[in-house]
A and B are shown apart, each in its own frame.
Chain A
Amino acid sequence: MSFLPAGSYREGDSILHKMDPFCKLLCTLLFLTAVILSDTFPGYLLGAAGLLAVTMVSRLGLRTALSGVKRMWLFFCLILLMNTAFFETEQTWWEWWIFRFSADGLIQGLQVVLRVAMAMVLGNLLLSASSPLELVGAMESLMYPLKFVGVPIRDVAMILGVAIQFIPAFSEEAETIRKAQTARGARFESRKLSEKAGSVVPLVVPIFLAAFRRADELAMAMEARGYRRTKGKIRKRRRHLSPADGIGLLLCVLFCAAEVLL
Chain B
Amino acid sequence: MQAVTGKQISFTYEYDGVSNPVLEDISIEIEAGEFIAILGANGCGKSTLVRLLNGLLPLEKGELKVWNLDPRQESRLWELRRLCGMVFQNPDNQFVSSIVEEDVAFGLRNYDTPEEEIPERVGRALSLVGMQEYERYSPHMLSGGQKQRVAMAGVLAMEPEILIFDEATSMLDPQGRREVLACLKQLHEMGKTILMITHYVEEVLDADRIFLMQKGKLLKSGSPREILTDRELLTQAELIPPLAVRIYYDLKDSGILLDRCPLTNEELVEELCRLK
Contact = CB atoms under 8 A, between A and B. Distances in A.
Contacts of B136: 11
B98 A235 contact: no
Interface stretch (A38-46, A88-96, A116-124, A214-222): A214-222
A5 B140 contact: yes
A67 to B, nearest CB: 14
Nearest to A173: B92
A222 B54 contact: no
A218 B86 CA distance: 12
Interface string B110-151: 111001000000000000000000001010111100000000
B108 to A, nearest CB: 9
B102 interface: yes
B140 A236 contact: no
B9 interface: no
Interface residues of B, number: 34
A1 B102 contact: no
Interface string A205-240: 000000001100110111111111001111111000
Interface string A17-55: 000000000000000000000000000000000000000
B200 interface: no
Contact of A132 (B54, B81, B99, B107): B99
A232 B109 contact: yes
Contacts of B93: 213-214, 217-218, 221
A11 B98 CA distance: 11
Contacts of B102: 131-133
A220 B81 contact: no
Contacts of A217: 88, 90, 93-94
B56 A224 contact: yes
B113 to A, nearest CB: 9
A85 B142 CA distance: 48
A233 B109 contact: yes
Given A224-B56, A232-B112, A4 B81 contact: no
Contacts of B242: none
Given A5-B140, A221-B88, A233-B109, A132 B97 contact: yes
Interface stretch (A97-105, A138-146, A161-169, A188-196): A161-169
Interface residues of A, number: 35
Interface of A is mostly: loop
A217 B158 CA distance: 20
A5 to B, nearest CB: 7
Given A9-B99, A217-B93, A224-B81, A2 B141 contact: yes
A64 interface: no
B88 A162 contact: no
B17 to A, nearest CB: 22
Contacts of B95: 165
Contacts of B272: none
Interface string B19-63: 000000000000000000000000000000000001010000000
A132 B96 CA distance: 8
A222 B56 CA distance: 11
B138 A8 contact: yes
B126 to A, nearest CB: 16
B94 A132 contact: no
A8 B102 CA distance: 14
Contacts of B99: 9, 11, 131-133
A233 to B, nearest CB: 5
A59 to B, nearest CB: 16
B140 A231 contact: no
A226 B138 contact: no
Contact of A218 (B96, B110, B141, B142): B96
A168 B99 CA distance: 13
Given A131-B99, A132-B102, A223 B56 contact: yes
B249 interface: no
Contacts of B115: 236-237
Interface of A: 1-2, 4-5, 8-9, 11, 131-133, 162, 165, 168-169, 172, 213-214, 217-218, 220-228, 231-237
Given A4-B141, A222-B96, A225-B110, 10 more contacts: A1-B142, A9-B99, A132-B102, A169-B140, A213-B93, A225-B107, A225-B155, A232-B111, A233-B112, A237-B115
27 contacts: A2-B140, A2-B141, A5-B140, A8-B98, A11-B136, A131-B98, A132-B96, A132-B99, A133-B96, A165-B98, A168-B140, A214-B92, A218-B96, A221-B94, A223-B56, A223-B81, A224-B81, A224-B86, A225-B106, A225-B154, A225-B155, A225-B158, A226-B111, A227-B110, A231-B110, A233-B109, A233-B112
